[in-house]
Structure 1
Amino acid sequence: MRSILALLLVVLIIFSSCGPRPQYKTREGKKKMKHYNSIQYNRP
C-alpha cells in the first residue's frame, strides 16, 4: 500500500514539473515584460 502511494506521488510530481511554463519565464515573455515596464516607468 505504501509503495503504491509513494509511486503515485512520484508520478504526480513528474507530471506537474512537465507542464507549460508561465509566460514571464519564457524568452518572449521577458521581452514583453521589459517593453511594458519601459513604457510604464518612462525608461528609455
Structure 2
Amino acid sequence: MRAFVAAAIGLAFAFALVLAITAIGAPPGETSPKPLLTTVPEHP
C-alpha cells in the first residue's frame, strides 16, 4: 500500500511539473538561421 501511495504522489508531482512548464511557455527569442551540422567532417 505504501508503494502505491508513493507512486501516486510521484506521478502527481511529475504531472504538476509538466503542467507548470507548459504554463510558463517557451522562452522568448529567435532560432538561428544557420543550419546545424549533421555529419562528421572528413579528415584529409
TM (norm. structure 2) is 0.46
- Structure holding more helix per residue: 1
Q: Tell which structure's C-alpha radius of gyration is larger.
A: 2
Higher RCO, 1 vs 2 (CA within 8 Å, ≥6 residues apart): 1
